[in-house]
Amino acid sequence: MLPSFHTIYRAIKAAPPRPAGFPLDVLLDAGRLRQLRAAPHLQPFLAKMREEAARASATPPPALTFSQFRMFEATGERYTYEEPYFDRRRRLLALALTVAVDGDDGPLPALEDLIWAICDEHSWALPAHLPLGHEAARATRPPRQVIDIFSSHTGHALAELLALLGERLSPWLRHRIRSEVEERILQPFASDVRPFHWEHTHSNWAGACAGSVGMTALAIEDDRERLAGIIGRVVQTLESFIEGFSEDGGFIEGVEGWGYGFAFYVYFADALARFTGGRLDLLQGEKIQQIADFPLAVALGNGTYINYADTPERARYHPGLGCYLARRFGQPLSGLPAPSFRYDHSYRWGHISRDLLWSEDAALGGQIGDGSYYLPDLSWVVERRMLQGRALAFSAKGGHNGEPHNHNDLGHFILHVGGESLLADLGPGIYTRQYFGGQRYEDIHASSYGHSVPLINGQPQQVGRRYDARVLHYERQPAGVRFVLDLTHAYASDELDSLIRSFDWQIDHEAQAATMVLRDSFRLSAPPTSLEECLISLRKPTLAEGTATWEGILGNVTLRFDPALLEPTVDPIPSFGLLGTPTTAYRLRLRALTDRADQVLDLRFRCALKTEP
């Protein structure tokens, strides 16, 4: 349970004076700066930081024009505006951290010009996060006072930058930063009783926005009465955020959402504990520790994770966060990447600054171990075995089709072999207005057409909370797991009386392989016009009589099926990933050759690691 407002108020009022540079005051310590500049694991980070600072000093910041601003409203396309917007944040990080870490005032003129340009922006919120259209915007808050994830991050960056650089900045800039942060962040949050939509949600926005607003206030708000009120509202929002985690610590949005919302929860919790001399500690309690352990349950090694919904397989788990949690809870996660200045394509100040300051060389890299996890509140199962340093893993999911960042994917599964998901989840599609609107399930990434689930009479699963999968059985076994789901209610078919999907996964250590038997038991009230099993991969399968094989770099998956019962077809599916990267997925469709109303279809998979040369 998070602290009451009474406790918050007393702790804020009793807190000692804020040290210069807080909460990044370590960057004012000459000895610590020498250590940072000399740390071997930080050399690539520092090199890219200085490279970006040199670029930002030599070239003017990109313009943000009206035509770019209205592109989202006109077409639904985001990146025309967001590319220069995030380039400005990349420059801000590079210039500010170079000035602070190297003690070099050479980039200051470019930094001050950039800050002035950012303060001139019509809104720090992205057009995609504003009410759609001028009339809708007029009916709510002014765009300058809309707090979304990126306006909150911008305010946070400028507030900590101001606290850190202080009088090295022009008094004009110091005044401008305070004025803009006050008008755009603190005043709307402290004085407007209307809640922002993220304040009462369980999504990653609640952690990211509230954490950023809280750190902004801790860095520059001098009125302790007002600060206590702001922190009280922040903590109330964070309580809603933590409620969104299941009791087993799982997060429905996956590691990407976890690593965003919970990261800013932790960044804020650290700053608040330091500000109050330890009187307020938001990282206490068993549930917080279980939340901190969630990435370990879904890790596949080498920076890859189980990636349901809108989570990419290579999700970003920031090394600063990972090292901090390992110190706090004593549960290190192997495979943390080395800090990289370009690790976050949105260049969020909180992530990159804490990667610089909190990463520890000894905690980076390493091999992940075996794991067997069942997250009952999410209805996820994950089985991971490491054989000679390479992963064989299986995961499947239940849940419902009304989840945040939802995909219609009940009964979907992943087979991961040697560092590659050969039966895969495609992750997020390209973020557009349409993808988050009425056309979302026309996108292959969100539709069940893009997942390894059956089609019944040509129909996919439907969207909504009432379309669910119910766990009938979970059994951990010495060499594997059995997992059974009732998928009857995932479909809107009047003819479907019952659909039970079972998974039996077994590891054979001696053979460096695993087997998985998938059985779908269909019972319909009338013979189906069509019944298809669909399997999704980013590798094109090779077909032979009764088999399909997906070849990976370090392993393969071979499917065996009865050719008298199932007819295979491979569909290439061109698509675009989250950042607009073109890709091709391959859907293997296995069409049932009989029209019996009751059918049992067995698919037998063998996952094998290749012999190393």
Between 122 and 301, whose confidence is greater? 122
Distance, C-alpha 111 to centroid of its chain: 30
Q: Residue 415 has which token pair?
A: 């087979």
* Together in a domain, 227 and 185: yes
- Of the listed ranges 52-66, 82-96, 575-589, the least confidently predicted one is 575-589
* Together in a domain, 520 and 471: yes
302 vs 336: CA distance, rounded Å: 8
Q: 455-456 and 531-537: which strand pairing?
A: antiparallel
pLDDT of residue 579: 75
* Element (DSSP H or E) covering residue 557: strand 555-560
3-state percent breakdown (helix, strand, coil) of the chain, nearest 5: 40, 25, 35
Contact 96, 165 (CB under 8 A): yes
293 vs 260: CA distance, rounded Å: 15
**pLDDT at residue 301 above 90?**
no
CATH number, residue 259: 1.50.10.100
396 vs 308: CA distance, rounded Å: 9
Contact 606, 558 (CB under 8 A): yes
**pLDDT at residue 332 above 80?**
no
pLDDT of residue 612: 64
Please state, in angstroms and as integers, the Cα–Cα distance from residue 307 to each residue in 20, 300, 427, following that order. 42, 10, 6
pLDDT of residue 302: 82
CATH number, residue 595: 2.70.98.70
In 281-377, which ranges are E strands? 299-301, 304-305, 371-375
**How many domains, in total, are found in the chain?**
2
pTM recorded for the entire structure = 0.94
Pick from 352, 254, 264: which is nearest to 295 by CA? 254
Q: What is the mean pLDDT of residues 318-345?
A: 89
428 vs 409: CA distance, rounded Å: 13
What is the average pLDDT score of the chain? 95
* Residue 43 neighbours by CB under 8 Å, 6+ apart: none
**pLDDT at residue 456 above 70?**
yes
* Together in a domain, 378 and 456: yes
Distance, C-alpha 410 to centroid of its chain: 20
Pick from 351, 337, 339, 326: which is nearest to 261 by CA? 351
* Together in a domain, 106 and 220: yes
Distance, C-alpha 604 to centroid of its chain: 32
Beta bridge partners of 482: 475, 504
Whether residue 428 is preceded by a cis peptide bond, meaning omega within 30 degrees of 0, is no
Contact 420, 554 (CB under 8 A): yes
Pick from 594, 603, 483, 485: which is nearest to 541 by CA? 603
* Together in a domain, 378 and 478: yes
Pick from 557, 512, 258: which is nearest to 416 by CA? 557
**pLDDT at residue 536 above 90?**
yes
Q: What is the mean pLDDT of residues 31-49?
A: 97
305 vs 295: CA distance, rounded Å: 8
- Which of 334, 363, 392 represents a domain boundary (last residue)? 363
How does DSSP classify residue 21? T
- Which of 363, 393, 419 represents a domain boundary (last residue)? 363
Contact 400, 80 (CB under 8 A): no
* Together in a domain, 297 and 345: yes
Taking only the tens place, the pLDDT of each residue in 77-109 is 999 999 999 999 999 999 999 999 999 999 999
* Together in a domain, 347 and 396: no
* Together in a domain, 306 and 404: no
* Together in a domain, 216 and 97: yes
Domain boundaries, position 243:
5-363
* Together in a domain, 474 and 565: yes
Contact 433, 72 (CB under 8 A): yes
Under the banding of pLDDT at 50, 70 and 90, the label for residue 316 is confident
Cα Rg of the chain, angstroms: 26
Taking only the tens place, the pLDDT of each residue in 388-426 is 888 999 999 999 999 989 999 999 999 999 999 999 999
pLDDT of residue 154: 98
113 vs 108: CA distance, rounded Å: 9
- Of the listed ranges 46-55, 117-126, 211-220, 333-342, the least confidently predicted one is 333-342
Q: 380-387 and 371-375: which strand pairing?
A: antiparallel
- Which of 339, 363, 387 represents a domain boundary (last residue)? 363
pLDDT of residue 530: 95
* Together in a domain, 244 and 349: yes
**pLDDT at residue 182 above 70?**
yes
* Together in a domain, 79 and 17: yes
Q: Give percent above pLDDT 70 in the chain.
A: 100
